[in-house]
Amino acid sequence: MTRTHDSDPAARGPEERTGLELGAFLDWGRDLHHQGRYEDAVKAFELILGVDGGNEEALIGRNRAVRRAVPRWHWEMLHDEERAELYDRAIRQAVAADPDALVLDIGAGSGLLAMMAARAGAREVVACEGQPSVAETAARVVSAAGYDDAVTVVSKMSTRMSVPEDLPRRAGLLVTEIVDCGLLGEGILGTIEHAREHLLAPDAVIMPSRGRIIAQLVESQALHRKNHVGKLYGFDLAPFNRLSSLEYFDSRLHRHEHRVLSEPVTVFEFDFRTADARPRRTELRIEPTAAGTLHAVVFWFEMELLPGITVGNPPGRDSHWKQAIQCLPAPRRVQPGEPVVLDAAHDGECVRFEVAAGAAPAGEPAREPAARPAAHAEFEVVS
């Protein structure tokens, strides 16, 4: 049987064969993307761009995959001037105290903090970044800035690093910012615990050195609606609430109509020089400052980078971290003189609150005032 020109790749010209190969790679990249294998999809599209740098389909495909793999909060974070200025001040102070100390930057992102350390005079900086596309880009940023003689970017999670394979020796200064709006959500406790055991010198400076989580009771129908639904448009949509968040989400409190129902209280405190990721639980008795409907617990953090230098995301501050919002499953009526008992717990990565049984649901009469006074923990941080 004689093969036709259309069915025989060898009978086609080089340009036609190349077009077919690129088409196959495009299909491969799209398939990887649809499977949720975004980093593999990036590599597939980059193979095409290596042959045809202007291939629009590959450029768009690569960007779509990168957008899935790299959260957009990176850009807002980089424009957080207060955060950058405070970290820069703390880094300059720590490096000036020991310029020969090896600096380890965990969760390097763009490489900004690593370059700050090099600019401050650190002679050797290792920046690790677990997201491959971000790590590759950070290396380009560092090189373009002229700091690649001092900064080495390692594309690996710090918990998979070791000495001397990834670090020439144990680091004398750790710099990290792997925190979310609720402080623990990016695994800072376990990550620093691993670093202390495997990557840091015994007397290493750890930045941040301390942290605390602070919470406040809030009335806000607007926040409640971000996580709950009832009867709308003639239908009962309440069964959809089985998909609502049981834990917190981030939002800017000041952008939602709200009324605070208590003073802020300290929930958990952490000394990152000794803290571990074991779960913890505590009971809080919070005295309401006004009568109202409790819809949510709003919480945020303060981190002491070094003594006297503190960064955080309290309500009203223009921080890229926003605040952490945990809506109650059902609103509760509260009033002064009747402390609200909150069970607060974390599993090493996430903080969660529950109102103890006994608080009156919204619309029901409140109980008689409780006898025990409210507790308000203090943690003095100089900012």
Single-letter amino acid code for the residue at 75:
W
Domain assignment of residue 166, yes or no? yes
3-class DSSP assignment, residue 344? strand
Are 253 and 279 in the same domain? yes
Domain assignment of residue 369, yes or no? no
Mean pLDDT of the chain: 89
Are 123 and 254 in the same domain? no
How long is the chain? 383
Domain assignment of residue 362, yes or no? no
Are 158 and 218 in the same domain? no
In whole angstroms, give the CA distance from residue 383 to residue 381. 6
Would you name the residues annotated as active-site residues? Answer: 177, 186
Amino acid 380: pLDDT: 38
> Residue 63: what are its φ and ψ, rounded to 5°?
-65, -40
Are 234 and 348 in the same domain? yes
Domain assignment of residue 378, yes or no? no
Amino acid 336: pLDDT: 97
Domain assignment of residue 198, yes or no? no
Q: Residue 48's domain spans which residues?
A: 20-69
Total of domains in the chain? 3
Are 251 and 333 in the same domain? yes
> Residue 291: what are its φ and ψ, rounded to 5°?
-75, 145
Pairing of strands 125-128, 103-106: parallel
pLDDT confidence band for 75 (50 / 70 / 90):
confident
Interval 363-382 mean pLDDT? 37
In whole angstroms, give the CA distance from residue 79 to residue 320. 8
Domain assignment of residue 38, yes or no? yes
Could you read off the pLDDT of 90-149 as tens digits, one per residue? 999 999 999 999 999 999 999 999 999 999 999 999 999 999 999 999 999 999 999 999
Reported pTM: 0.83
Are 241 and 349 in the same domain? yes
Single-letter amino acid code for the residue at 169:
R
Are 240 and 329 in the same domain? yes
Are 233 and 319 in the same domain? yes
Are 220 and 166 in the same domain? no
Are 247 and 281 in the same domain? yes
C-alpha dihedral, 286 to 287 to 288 to 294, nearest 10°: 30
125, 152, 177 - which closes a domain: 177
